[in-house]
Amino acid sequence: MLLCKGADSIIEARLNYAASPHLEKTKDFVDEFAEQGLRTLFLAKRRIPHIEYHQWHHLFEEALSKVVNRDEEVARVNEMIEQNLELIGSTAIEDKL
C-alpha cells in the first residue's frame, strides 16, 4: 500500500478522479482551512501490485546509487509510482513558523 501526503496541488495532479468521489468537497474544506491560515495537506493511497512494486523498487535502488543528480533521479522514480492515487482526505494544522 502506498500512502502519500502533500500539497493539494501536487496530490490532486496524481489522483485517479474516478476513485476520488469526494475531491470537490475536500477541496472546499481545504480552501476554507487555508483562508483561516492553516497549513493543509491532501492524503491519498494506492494499492500496488507486487510485481509493479518490485519493478519500481529496482529503479529506485538504481536512482539511490547515482553519484550525479541523485535527488532528481529519486524524485523522477518516485513520481512514476505516485500516480493513479485515491484521495483519502485532508489535514489542516496551525503552523507557527
What are the phi and psi torsion angles at 68 (to 5°)? -105, 135
Model pLDDT, residue 97: 67
Q: Supply the DSSP string of 2-29, one letter for each residue.
A: EEEEE-HHHHHTTB-GGG-TTHHHHHHH
What is the mean predicted confidence (pLDDT) over 42-49?
Answer: 97
**C-alpha R_g of the chain:** 16
The Cα-based distances of 15 to 21, 71, 85 in angstroms read: 11, 23, 4
What is the mean predicted confidence (pLDDT) over 55-67?
Answer: 95
- 96, pLDDT greater than 80: no
- 43, pLDDT greater than 80: yes
What's the pTM value of the predicted model, to 2 decimals?
0.84
Question: Domain segments of the chain: what residues?
Answer: 2-93
